[in-house]
Amino acid sequence: MAYYFTTTLKNVDFETAVQKITEGLKEEGFGVISTIDFQATLKEKINVDFRKYVVLQACNPPYAHKSLQTEDKIGTLLPCNVVVQEAGDNAFEISSINPEAAMASVENETMAEIAKEISEKLKRVIEKL
């Protein structure tokens, strides 16, 4: 089982790619709670030039709440990360974690069911792009 879902958007700029994935996440009940800009961070911290690469930390509050009630340490695996990265001229790869793969080490049947539902949602977001 792959640990991510992925697709590539072509003939778009970076901001459009981020906007499209953000809108897709919203349609499935997710919100972006944090954004990590690795290009800017690596430049600032270690003076390295890196391609455009952001991690959007997405959360679906009802599922997060259910997960936290089921496993009190599950926050170590939350939120769901989505990566938007430069993949050539006017192309950006968008990848999302596969929660089923990420939660495989959690020995809890209820969490496995939750992970499956969230995986289906994230896979739909990626496929719709």
Q: Which residues pair with 96 in a beta bridge?
A: 5, 82
What pLDDT band is residue 117 in, cutting at 50, 70 and 90?
very high
pLDDT in tens, 21-43: 999 999 999 999 999 999 999 99
The CATH number of whichever domain residue 70 belongs to comes to 3.30.310.70
Counted domains in the chain: 1
Residue 28 lies in domain: 4-128
